[in-house]
Structure 1
């Protein structure tokens, strides 16, 4: 059974995980990603990856699950950034 702190962690993780979905939809539809900083997005992905590792070391399922999903979505967004970035 999940305790209140597990539920809190899941809700917080879900909020941060789904926050990238509108950006993915916009990038997919418009094929425009030049306003997104690859450097900062890379730092975000590194941070999310480190949260996954931390969750594994702590055996914390909410952290592993939500940050794992976030890493997958952010990886897809990074792919879109590479695919649609205009060559300068």
Structure 2
């Protein structure tokens, strides 16, 4: 398999991996079971991948991880809105 195709498939799968969680949170308006720390660490790691993609001039890395950053920022915002204060 061509390495570019492999990278594109991997990027698509990892980019959309959090969409079901986001849909669930939006539908139920409940983010109690989500970890803020996990989301923040994930956003940080994905942002570093975007930076790495720019350094290596690799568009699939940039696009897939930038999309994932956006999805996870939306999820973080939902956490802020829907998490009940204890």
- Alignment TM class, shorter chain as reference: over 0.9
What are the equivalent positions in structure 2 for 1:1-88 lying under 5 Å apart?
A: 4-88=2-86
Deviations 1:15-70 (A, max 9, x none): 01111111011000101111111011100110000000000000011100100111
State how many pairs are aligned.
86
The DSSP-based 3-state class of the residue aligned with 1:12 is helix
Q: Which runs of 4+ in 1 moved over 4 A?
A: none
CA RMSD of aligned residues (A): 1.2
Residues in 1 aligned to 2:72 and 2:6: alpha-carbon distance in whole angstroms:
22
Residues in 2 aligned to 1:56 and 1:18: alpha-carbon distance in whole angstroms:
21
Residues in 2 aligned to 1:18 and 1:40: alpha-carbon distance in whole angstroms:
17
| Structure 2: runs of 5 or more not aligned | none
| Structure 1: runs of 5 or more not aligned | none
Normalised by the size of structure 2, how large is the TM-score?
0.95
